[in-house]
Amino acid sequence: MAVSSINNNSGADNGGTGSSAADLSNQFMTLLVAQMQNQDPTNPMDNNQLTSQLAQFNMAAGVEKLNASMTTMQAMMVQLGSMSASSWVGRSVLIEGEAKVSFGDAPIGIMQEGVELPSNSDDLHFALGADAETVTVTLHDGDQAYTAELKKVKQGMNTFNLDDLKDFKPSQPPRDREYTVSYEASNAEGEKPEVTGLVQEQVQGVTMSEYGPILHLLNNDPITMDKVFVIQK
């Protein structure tokens, strides 16, 4: 239904734009004829003036036609976007957010709160703005913070699991608590590259808006497609 509505609106807009272009042409010719009929016989309009006015009119008419073409193209892009976004329903995506995790039974595993992960999955994800010498991973239970480090991490998307985290400080996190995961990156020059923690979500549905397709998620507020970092299987 949403796609049909977009098509109908597009047709209505094109009709209105065409009428405006015709009105513009009629008004221009009426004014030009009136100007020529009422010109000073001792100082008539020369060819350069006439040519200049015609050029200005052609430019205005061209802009009007360009606007009509852009309106049609925009409607087509919205329609294509809605068709593309509909294929996302049921897919898992990675979006910005704080993962809440807990240690499972041996072997060590991880469960992200509110989101069903594949069996035995203990993957965590973040996006790094530049290469980093160290990314410090912090698990915080509300009272105590436990930190471990990932070394020589490359710019872009990164995935790791709890087995990659060694030598927690000040001690190994207790297994019977839930933790919020956060990150901080640093490099050899003392800079702190931007690092964005990601959480896994599932797309439940897609609706259209003036901003394009809106993805409705299982456990988070609706988002636009540009907020998605990765589309998973």
pLDDT for the residue 58: 64
Tens-place pLDDT, residues 205-217: 988 887 778 899 9
By the 8 A CB rule, do 86 and 212 touch? no
**Total number of residues shown for the chain:** 233
Residue with the two structure tokens 């036609």: 65
| Stretch 209-227: mean pLDDT | 87
| Stretch 111-115: mean pLDDT | 42
Same domain, 31 and 49: yes
pLDDT at 136 over 80: yes
Rounded to a whole number, what is the distance in angstroms from the first to the last CA of the chain?
Answer: 27
pLDDT at 169 over 90: yes
Rounded to the nearest integer, the mean pLDDT of the chain is: 74
**Euclidean distance between CA atoms 59 and 107, whole angstroms:** 72
**Euclidean distance between CA atoms 10 and 221, whole angstroms:** 29
The number of domains in the chain is: 2
| Stretch 160-179: mean pLDDT | 86
Helix, strand, coil percentages in the chain from 3-state DSSP, rounded to 5: 35, 35, 30
pLDDT at 28 over 60: yes
Higher pLDDT, 107 or 183: 183
| Stretch 132-147: mean pLDDT | 93
End residue of a domain, out of 86, 121, 146: 86
Same domain, 64 and 113: no
pLDDT for the residue 174: 87
Same domain, 124 and 54: no
DSSP-H helix ranges across 122-204: none
| Stretch 127-153: mean pLDDT | 93
**Euclidean distance between CA atoms 141 and 133, whole angstroms:** 26
Boundaries of domain holding 171: 92-231
Same domain, 69 and 184: no
pLDDT at 99 over 60: yes
pTM of the predicted structure, to 2 decimals: 0.58
By the 8 A CB rule, do 217 and 200 touch? no
pLDDT at 5 over 70: no
Give 109-116 contacts, CB < 8 A, sequence gap 24+. Answer: 109/162, 110/161, 110/162, 112/199, 112/200, 113/178, 114/218, 114/219, 115/199, 115/200, 115/201, 115/202, 115/218, 115/219, 116/202
Q: How confident is the model at residue 74 (pLDDT cuts 50, 70, 90)?
A: low
End residue of a domain, out of 29, 52, 86: 86
The proportion of the chain whose per-residue pLDDT surpasses 90, expressed as a percent, equals 27
The proportion of the chain whose per-residue pLDDT surpasses 70, expressed as a percent, equals 55
Same domain, 178 and 205: yes
pLDDT for the residue 17: 45
| Stretch 12-18: mean pLDDT | 45
By the 8 A CB rule, do 200 and 229 touch? no
Same domain, 221 and 120: yes
Q: How confident is the model at residue 3 (pLDDT cuts 50, 70, 90)?
A: very low
Same domain, 98 and 82: no
Same domain, 147 and 219: yes
